[in-house]
A and B are shown apart, each in its own frame.
Chain A
Amino acid sequence: MSRTAIAASGHSSDPGRTIFPSWLKASGRTLASFAVTLLGLAALTFFIGRLLPLDPVVAVLGDNVTQEAYQAMYKQLGLDQPLYVQFGRYIWGVLHLDFGMALTTGKPVMADIARVFPATIELASVAIVIGTSLGIPLGVLSAMYRGSWLDQIVRVVGLIGYSAPNFWLGLMGLVLFYATLGWVGGPGRIDFTYEFDLEPVTGFLLIDSLLAGNWEMFGNAVSHIILPASILAFSSLAYISRMTRSFMMEQLSQEYVVTARVKGLSWARTVWGHAFRNIAVQVVTVVALSYAFLLEGAVLTETVFAWPGFGRYLTNALLAGDMNAVVGCTLLVGVIFVTLNLLCDLLYRVFDPRTR
């Protein structure tokens, strides 16, 4: 609630109309709507949590309990309170990062998420590096050589990236690159032999193994992450290259491009030196959004690759009907999504003078 108050005061600072520049006021409004959206996210997840057809008390205690134990747990879970009190408690818990206990692991949901999240972040980060480093040049090149064979190939690859179920690509990739060719490590983050050798420092295996100076282990971790990350990267590559292409095409039809060419600048110099600068902010926005979408892709990819991350934790919680964990995970994804959107929005305002 405190966040709402701060953001709202930023928004309603009308006496400062003349003092604050317009972009600051716009940012204040964005922050206010951010706060309202967060509250809405909490309300929606609360509602989803209450939809459960299963009796929550039975979910915790099992179905052969005494009446007294049932009543005690009913009270302890706050189910005897009116709905708005329950919602208030829920919000209070969320603000303190308390989502209750996970039934599947018996630990607080937040502790579970903190434990599994680094694995997902590591996977998504490697994926976004692959997707961006290939997607942006491909998008720019296909805009530069519109209609050429390169453009056609990028288009087809993009279409497949949009259309292919990534869990299927993962399975097929395992068959081809792991079982048949033996180029990559199998499912999981690392071979079993290394599993207990490492003292976790950051939780990111790639970084931890480097910190420990254990190159063998680093190589093993790379061989495990490369396939799932590439498959995740495929869909973001499709998205990034498609958007980059259309941004670039728009720029290339502008008059300043013609002017630069008439002045004698080479095609490559015009594109990379002039046009690309104008789309840079837009491209960064797209990359940030596709990073958020990687979290979605991770749910299925992690299941296929037995990757001990956030997606697999969510899936297990779903199958076990562990609503505390499901609600916690869903809310977290929503918050990350909204935050990334907000950052993009602010980025636009700060770096793109055209939006002022």
Chain B
Amino acid sequence: MAPQPIDQAGAQGLKAWLAAPVPSSPFQARMQQLSLKWWRLKANPAALFGLAIIVLIALTALFAPLIATHDIYAQDLTMRLQRPSAAHWFGTDELGRDIFSRLVFGARITLYIALLTAVIAAPLGLIVGTTSGYLGGWVDTVLMRIVDIFLAFPSLVLALAFVAALGPGIDHAIIAIALAAWPPIARLARAETLSIRKSDYIAAVRLQGASPLRIILGHVVPMCIPSVVVRITLNMASIILTAAGLGFLGLGAQPPSPEWGAMLASGREFILTNGWIAGIPGLAILVTSLAFNLFGDGLRDILDPRHG
């Protein structure tokens, strides 16, 4: 959401527009808030570094067919287990496939899992949490009890159990991880809602006759979104680690998919002689989850100053 790069004269106008003491439209007010946040983010080099890596990985995933140097499924047994070289930047694996190209396409799978999980888990957690917090009473008791039960399992163990029941595969892994990821978000949204529902503006809306559904969706959910975004960004790292773990155990993405965890697992056999086959995908997982952690920490300082 950075201000778009524009020419000098335009920049002056934009700067003035963003710095105007009294915004003339809701849009301008929103943009001013955004630019303020961007300035605060720019003051945090670690978070900016994390964001840069995330953008880089996203671009890699987007332009994977242009970046990859080899066909990721083409096997060439004469070229197996090659060391990194000019032809194969990160070497080749046990079937002679180019590791660099597979890594590039693997970024797609990793981001696909992370984003889809977030898209399933965040709204689910948000709806359950706000409903529970706003309505209170037995709805609250029942929903929070369910959340407690889900929280009673470490997320990897719960995801493993769901994958075992659903069968291995990347889509099942996503469902399993999402099922394990929504409860903390619900907890968070509920806590936010409990403080929001006492505010005057909610009382005003209620006096005007708005239904609970309308209040929750239109007036409570938007207030909870910043902290949920922070939470899900920080969760991305653990989602990526869980997905890689499932792939490593052979329960996530299946071969010949270039999922990083699965690549790591196939390189495990050659770990003592050809360490890079497992080393490189592991490094990619580490860098990606580190980037999300750095960015999430920075985002929390900006959007959620209370916990900073």
Taking Cβ atoms with an 8 Å cutoff, the residues of A that contact B are: 33, 36-37, 40-41, 43-45, 48-49, 51-53, 159-160, 162-165, 167-168, 171-172, 174-175, 179, 292-293, 295-296, 299-300, 303-304, 314-315, 317-319, 321, 323, 326-327, 329-330, 333-334, 337-338, 341
Contacts and interface: CB of A to CB of B under 8 A. Distances in A.
Given A45-B161, A314-B160, A165 B244 contact: yes
B278 A333 contact: no
Nearest to B307: A246
Contact of B251 (A175, A318, A341): A318
B153 A333 contact: yes
13 contacts: A36-B145, A40-B145, A41-B149, A41-B153, A44-B150, A48-B162, A48-B164, A160-B290, A164-B289, A165-B244, A330-B158, A334-B152, A334-B157
B149 A300 contact: no
> How big is chain B's contact interface, by range?
35 or more
Interface string B229-258: 000000001000100110011110000000
B167 interface: yes
A293 B154 CA distance: 7
A43 B271 CA distance: 42
B39 to A, nearest CB: 22
Interface string B22-60: 000000000000000000000000000000000000000
Given A175-B275, A326-B161, A163 B154 contact: no
Given A163-B286, A167-B245, A292-B154, A40 B149 contact: yes
Interface of B: 145-146, 148-150, 152-158, 160-167, 237, 241, 244-245, 248-251, 261, 264, 268, 271-272, 275, 278-279, 282-283, 285-286, 289-290, 293-294
A326 B164 contact: yes
Contact of B156 (A48, A296, A334): A296
A49 B165 contact: yes
Contacts of A333: 153-154, 157
Nearest to B234: A162
B249 A300 contact: yes
Nearest to B162: A48
Contact of A163 (B248, B261, B268, B293): B293
> Which are the 4 A-B pairs with shortest beta-carbon distances?
A168-B282, A296-B154, A51-B165, A40-B149
B107 to A, nearest CB: 16
Given A299-B156, A318-B164, 10 more contacts: A37-B148, A52-B165, A164-B286, A165-B264, A167-B248, A167-B264, A168-B282, A315-B160, A319-B251, A334-B157
Contacts of B167: 53
Contact of B286 (A41, A168, A292): A168
A299 B251 CA distance: 13
Nearest to B238: A162
A333 B161 CA distance: 11
Contacts of A160: 286, 290
Contacts of A52: 164-165
Contacts of B264: 165, 167-168, 171
A181 to B, nearest CB: 13
B146 A40 contact: yes
A269 to B, nearest CB: 30
Contacts of A163: 237, 241, 286, 289-290, 293
A291 B294 CA distance: 25
A37 B144 CA distance: 10
A191 B90 CA distance: 35
A162 B249 contact: no
Nearest to B249: A315
Contact of B154 (A295, A315, A321): A295
A175 B282 CA distance: 14
Given A44-B149, A175-B272, A319-B250, A159 B294 contact: yes
Contacts of A171: 264, 268, 271, 278-279, 282
Contact of A165 (B163, B285, B293, B294): B285
Given A163-B293, A319-B250, A337 B165 contact: no
Nearest to A168: B282
B77 to A, nearest CB: 24
B155 to A, nearest CB: 8
B187 to A, nearest CB: 14
Nearest to A327: B161
Nearest to B294: A159
B69 to A, nearest CB: 24
Nearest to B161: A330
Given A40-B145, A303-B249, A334-B152, A168 B160 contact: no
A306 B248 CA distance: 14
Contacts of B289: 162-165
Nearest to B241: A165
Contacts of B146: 40
Nearest to B251: A318
Given A164-B286, A171-B268, A33 B148 contact: yes
Contacts of B157: 295-296, 299, 314, 329-330, 333-334
Given A40-B145, A40-B146, A338 B165 contact: no
